[in-house]
Amino acid sequence: DSIYGIGRWGKGLITVLPNGDVALCDPAHPEAAAISLPQILHDLRQRGVASPLVLRIKSFLEAEIRHLNSSFSDAIRKTGYRAPYRGVFPIKVNQQAQVVDRIVEFGRQYDYGLEAGSKPELVIALAHRLSQEALIVCNGVKDAEFIRLAILSRRLGFNTVIVLESPKEAEIVIEIARELEIEPLLGVRVKLTNEISGKWQDSSGDRSAFGMNTYQLMRVIDRLRNEGLLHCLKLQHSHLGSQVPDVNDVRRSVTEACRYFTELAREGVPLTHLDLGGGLGVDYTGEKRASENSINYTMEEYCTNVVETVAYAMDEANVDHPVLVTESGRAISATSSMLIFDVLETTLYDAPDAPAVEPDDHHFLTDLAAISGYLVPERVQECWNDARFYRDELRALFRRGRVDLRQMARAEQTYLKLMARIKEITHLVEQNSELDKELQKIADVYHCNFSVFQSLPDVWAIEQLHPIVPLQMLNQTPDRRAVLSDITCDSDGKLDKFILDGEIAPSLPVHSPPEDQTYYLGVFFVGAYQETLGDLHNLFGDTNVVTIDLRPDGKYDLLHEQEGDTIAQVLSYVEYDPADCIAAFRKMVDEAISAGHITANERQTLVGAYRASMNGYTYFE
């Protein structure tokens, strides 16, 4: 645990059992025994559910919803704030039915609503029975069809707010509201100028793509007033950004949002809701500082800052406290899913023994082999410098045809053996020195059964860091260091940045995989954004997904199993008809029979193998 820092990032949800298994804790029942993840995987395998798989934990999702809502109500009570909190979950962060359904079900007690950023997401939202007070906030670019459905839904009692993104959108709303003779519930998206640091800097400030500037805002207000619809404008939307690292940025942006709110109130706009969008971050690394993958605040602190800042600004301008809305997605769903995969094989950065140098070998190879003779702790750096020099020279000679393949093989093996010996004495190497960093890079490759592109797209696209941990043997000191390579044949398909002791390390401490059991690794906090952003690179499809609920008696209930894509499904996504593929293959087999190349028995085997593949899992089975 201390190597992987589970205590720092695990939020009390993840722990390690005395037998070395990583285990799940039920936050609603801290007294219940933690449940071993390898045991869950064993149970699932017996049911025929193999890795790679995404494991969703309903209890974690509920814990975050409870935490956010109770943090806001505590802050509201302590501050004497005179309006409630009504959060909405942005569907885009995880659209999976198993997630959205459970959020709605559990969130009902908090009047928790949904945010829809597109027509399909509005269609999802309207298929859910929300509480009477809950909101559906519609963001993004909207066409007439989107707006018509949003306005019509008012007739069923939905509090569907159309957040106007531009003067043009306001015109469409005015026209459709008139035609339907239904009063819409409106919001305006106001672009904040305060820029937030972190990975999503461009989604805040002047450069953000969404929201109106002050001139556009005034045009929309005037148009609504002229059309007699100003009284429908109830909500101001000011998105703070995403994964805001520094809590003081929250205060600054909320202060700016409040300036707009109080000014709009002075203009006679009867606003009642202030929506601050997303931004509440997740501490992926446990660093607890304002960095790209971490945050310097707790959920409670975020809520207190929001409530205090709004209360102060409203009181100063003598404006009624608005209902507070946030659209936190990441903080609600990230922790609830983990990706679990098995190690298929390993390429070890090691050599059994340094080979003997032969009489005709190039003198650089003799020099390389001689290094081990003066490898003592005081001369480690010098030995490494020499080793790199001779190896690089030998490679250059090989390229020019001056050294043959067998000599090159001896050179590589000699170098590997030397590095293995240097690694044995690395505790003598100054931490963070060039050599230390280089040695950390010298890592085994663990080939693992997953696709970065399908399951961890943000790792590939924006260098997102997630906690990554072996799921068993944590009572034994890891004896190797590895980078994790996926099964796509793409050199980007790997995990080679890990958080260890609050620092980014280029390799992960791992164990030599045991002979008699599967060695599993888990990537944690993948419940936000990853599932639908994933792509089909190399045609690896969706993984199996299993949803479980932790029980107070230390056991768990299996709530739902979703089988991963078959090859036939994946082929149909890229315009192939599986039946046509089978027919085409069968035709070639029949031609081979006619030509006398294969027998009728072989025909059966060939067609059977092709069919079986078509119906199989896209991952290693």
Report, as residue numbers or ranges, the catalytic residues: 489
- Distance in Å, CB of 97 to ligand PLP, minimum: 19
**C-alpha to C-alpha distance for 201 and 292, rounded to whole angstroms:** 10
Of 77-85, 306-314, 326-334, 479-487, the window that binds ligand PLP (rule: CB under 6 A) is: 326-334
Query: Out of 56, 330, 466, 480, which residue is the one contacting ligand PLP (CB under 6 A)?
Result: 330
- Distance in Å, CB of 252 to ligand PLP, minimum: 17
Enumerate the H helices of 181-298 as residue ranges: 214-226, 247-266
Q: What is the 3-state secondary structure (H, E, C) of 137-171?
A: EECCCCCHHHHHHHHHHHHHCCEEEEEECCHHHHH
Cα angle vertex 65, ends 61, 69, to 5°?
Answer: 170
Using CB under 6 A as the binding criterion, the count of chain residues that bind ligand PLP stands at: 18
Spacing of C-alpha 7 from chain mean position: 20
User: Hey, what are 251's tokens?
Assistant: 């205060």
Amino acid at 140: G
Q: Classify 102 as helix, strand or coil.
A: helix
Q: Which of residues 94-123 bind ligand PLP (CB under 6 A)?
A: 115
- Distance in Å, CB of 527 to ligand PLP, minimum: 11
The dihedral formed by the CA atoms of 482, 486, 491 and 495, expressed in degrees to the nearest 10: -50
The label of the residue with tokens 């090159």 reads: 408
286 near ligand PLP, rule: CB under 6 A:
no
- Distance in Å, CB of 244 to ligand PLP, minimum: 8
- Nearer of residues 384 and 529 to ligand PLP, judged by Cβ: 529
Of 27-35, 120-128, 323-331, 569-577, the window that binds ligand PLP (rule: CB under 6 A) is: 323-331
**Kind and range of the H or E run holding 383:** helix 380-399
Of 169-177, 321-329, 427-435, 607-615, the window that binds ligand PLP (rule: CB under 6 A) is: 321-329
Please report how many Cα atoms fall inside a 13 Å half-sphere around the Cα of residue 475, on the Cβ side: 7
**C-alpha to C-alpha distance for 525 and 243, rounded to whole angstroms:** 14
- Nearer of residues 52 and 117 to ligand PLP, judged by Cβ: 117
Q: Which of residues 139-158 bind ligand PLP (CB under 6 A)?
A: 139
Give the residue at shortest CB distance from ligand PLP: 278
Q: Which of residues 471-530 bind ligand PLP (CB under 6 A)?
A: 528
165 near ligand PLP, rule: CB under 6 A:
no
293 near ligand PLP, rule: CB under 6 A:
no
Q: Read off the DSSP letter of residue 50.
A: P
Q: Which of residues 176-205 bind ligand PLP (CB under 6 A)?
A: 203
- Distance in Å, CB of 275 to ligand PLP, minimum: 9
329 near ligand PLP, rule: CB under 6 A:
yes
Q: Which x/- pattern, by CB under 6 A, does the window 230-259 give for ligand PLP?
A: ---------x--xx----------------
- Nearer of residues 90 and 493 to ligand PLP, judged by Cβ: 90
- Distance in Å, CB of 468 to ligand PLP, minimum: 21
- Nearer of residues 11 and 239 to ligand PLP, judged by Cβ: 239
Spacing of C-alpha 323 from chain mean position: 30
Contact 482, 348 (CB under 8 A): no
Q: Read off the DSSP letter of residue 487.
A: S
**Kind and range of the H or E run holding 69:** helix 58-79
Dihedral sign, Cα of residue 312, residue 316, residue 317, residue 321: positive
Whether a cis peptide bond, with omega within 30° of 0, leads into 52 is yes
277 near ligand PLP, rule: CB under 6 A:
yes
**C-alpha to C-alpha distance for 312 and 415, rounded to whole angstroms:** 66
Query: Out of 79, 159, 328, 518, which residue is the one contacting ligand PLP (CB under 6 A)?
Result: 328
The residues binding ligand PLP (CB under 6 A) are 90, 93, 115, 139, 203, 239, 242-243, 277-280, 327-331, 528
